[in-house]
Chain A
């Protein structure tokens, strides 16, 4: 039986949200779980390559200490070190937990969990289930949550969208408001603590590798209510995506982990069939420049190299694509280890990557920044916790491959009990004087305004404009002038938003009204991301400015914190915990020991 004393809401049903839910439920407390979609369809399903943990079953001398160092170094020293260390120490146990839940991890002949290599490390540290590890891990947690649902401990609110936190006069969280995506009913849900697990912000960039539900709208709503948003400017652009009309489909780093090689023809504009281009006429530029890591340099570096090669005119046929080649690996091995992602490529690009090199280009992939949290995953507003991709901790200036699933689980494991402890100590039962009703009224009036608003603007077109500017100017290469222009554009779009007509006459299950709300929130968060990038005059991890090519620890070894004001984001900075590993130059082009 669930204990009736406290009530906690979790918003988001991906890996981080489900893990937090399970931890709270295991402690015997009821959880209200909110999700835009059936939780089994959350974006975590898209993670392909695997989950890191220094289990060291390959006799390579791997350990959590090495994993910790790789993660901090890979993140260019911007992550606070204490939680990263704790995560790396917990990683083997996290993999074993999933093993016990029945995840079909790929196996060694002895029946042990197999591990593959990933970027930014020299060790086989990544456990994987074929090439759809995220799907398998998400399903495992979904199944465990379903057990608690059957027992009446977890109540799911699927097809509900988070709108805002309910804050009292002391800026303490007392619950949330959410909107039923079928009836558009806005309702308040009192809670002693809420855990936000709403993922990344890919939709702000229009096309990305993210699911279309990854808008960042919830984070932005909280930011507008006073939650601090940290390191927003750190956006990971994945080196290998399949360009598409609707999205950039990820081609997992595991393709390179299993031996995939990136190359371009040595002759500019060479449009011959890649199979007829001789080995001597191919330029394996990553292997040449980074002999120690080769094709497995961290993502920020691989992305910039591919981007630059194309800028220099070496892209396939002079365009914006390079080859990712697996054809030297036996098809049987590829099917076993990478089957799922090769099928994706085949289905969308029409070529069989077992026999034809894939054509890929970088695409926006991961949000390193996010809601500022303390070491218990609590934001600056008491009672609001954040976990997973929507929080800023762990990955610093660049995330290593296969650390994202791990960080989701780690955050959920920390936040669950922390939220329970917080809720038990919070002041409950006092009269809240219509606090919840007032917030419901505020949110309902936003809906009414959008329903009645007329004008010549289409929200989906404005969304396209935002995405294009953000992708062109706030991803791989950043210039201050372009960042200023982008912010001006965002302000223009915010003004034009007042002229949006949602073209809807039927409000039952409409997607137009929720989309318009999301768009407004995205625009405000996009400003925090863009101006954060403008202010950081250095290059670190994924943030690269040709005009400031070096890392500047003296001025910028600090966390960017954006706070909302009616005039726009206000910025402050916080020192980074570097107590255990002293910052050193980050160079993957020379052979270095750890």
Chain B
């Protein structure tokens, strides 16, 4: 491995502005990741051909793949920048922002629609209050194991980026929010408000918009069984649709 790394970064100064590619040559260190390359650019914001430029803007917090902030498209694949180890990437390493969210600047995008979706699908347990009401319901270890994996979703947006049904002409909420419906509906207290969540995903942009491309599950950094969650919700919404119609 050479002692420098070649990096191509897609830059964009503002949400409205056009984009451009800039190339950088940064020092190589064993075990480093794409974000450490970007940090080197901060310390010396000069392109490979010697022009000064501005430091690259990106989102990152934890650097250990648990906060979900640093999603970006690296060598054509959406993933977390912190776990994109340079030793395992072909050069030049191309880094660009996710395409399914509005760009704010450079690699930083606006994922607020994902948090809005959490409101829409009622992604919480309706507790009576935070005062002491004793323990919650008992949970079988098997159910806990299943829910635990679902609950590691870090709202990173990779599943939306990879989904062909998420685009400028559709309002599909995507796999992340659907997975939250399963997470809460499988909890003994969450189940008490199951219908609210099922109804929330039966309208426009809901579960019916899933095209079963199965890209989401392939790119999920946490290996959440997203397609299982969607399949299960498919059955439940179908039953719910039938029964609620019969009740009328």
Contact = CB atoms under 8 A, between A and B. Distances in A.
A135 B153 CA distance: 10
Interface string B132-176: 111110111100110110011011000000000000000000000
Given A46-B62, A143-B123, A246-B82, 20 more contacts: A41-B61, A43-B61, A45-B62, A45-B66, A101-B124, A102-B189, A107-B140, A146-B118, A146-B119, A245-B29, A245-B33, A246-B63, A247-B64, A344-B64, A350-B85, A460-B39, A503-B52, A509-B14, A510-B105, A511-B55
Contact of A460 (B14, B43, B63): B43
A509 B61 contact: no
Given A102-B136, A136-B151, A246-B36, A26 B129 contact: yes
B9 interface: no
B181 interface: no
Given A460-B43, A504-B54, A344 B65 contact: yes
Contacts of B61: 37, 41-43, 211-213
Most buried by A among B123, B126, B148: B148
B130 A107 contact: no
Interface stretch (A92-100, A533-541, A542-550): A92-100
B68 A245 contact: no
Interface residues of A, number: 72
A429 to B, nearest CB: 31
B50 interface: no
Contacts of A102: 124-125, 136, 184, 187, 189-190
A454 interface: no
A112 B65 contact: no
A314 interface: no
A108 B33 CA distance: 39
Interface in A210-263: 211-213, 244-247, 249-250
Q: Which 9 interchain pairs have the tightest Cβ spacing? A: A111-B138, A143-B124, A99-B136, A509-B105, A100-B136, A93-B132, A102-B125, A104-B148, A41-B67
A453 to B, nearest CB: 16
B108 interface: yes
Contact of B60 (A45, A144, A212, A504): A212
B145 A336 contact: yes
A583 interface: no
B154 A135 contact: yes
B99 interface: no
Contacts, number: 194
A212 B29 CA distance: 20
Interface string B175-218: 00000000010010110000000000000000000000000000
A246 B58 CA distance: 15
Nearest to A463: B43
A552 B229 CA distance: 59
Interface string A102-139: 10111111111100000000000000011010011001
A110 B135 CA distance: 14
Interface residues of B, number: 67
B69 interface: yes
Contacts of A40: 68, 115, 154-155
Interface of B: 13-14, 29, 31-33, 35-36, 39, 42-45, 52, 54-55, 57, 59-69, 82-83, 85, 104-105, 108, 111-112, 115, 118-119, 123-127, 129-130, 132-136, 138-141, 144-145, 147-148, 151-152, 154-155, 184, 187, 189-190
Contacts of B187: 102
A146 B180 CA distance: 14
Contacts of B112: 38
A493 interface: no
Most buried by B among A100, A105, A147, A244: A100
Contact of B151 (A100, A139, A150, A506): A139
Contacts of B44: 458
A461 interface: yes
A149 B118 CA distance: 12
A135 B66 contact: yes
Contacts of B152: 130, 132, 135, 340
Nearest to A98: B136
Contacts of A100: 125, 127, 133, 135-136, 189
A205 to B, nearest CB: 15
Interface string A255-286: 00000000000000000000000000000000
B42 A460 contact: yes
Nearest to B35: A246
B69 A37 contact: yes
A481 interface: no
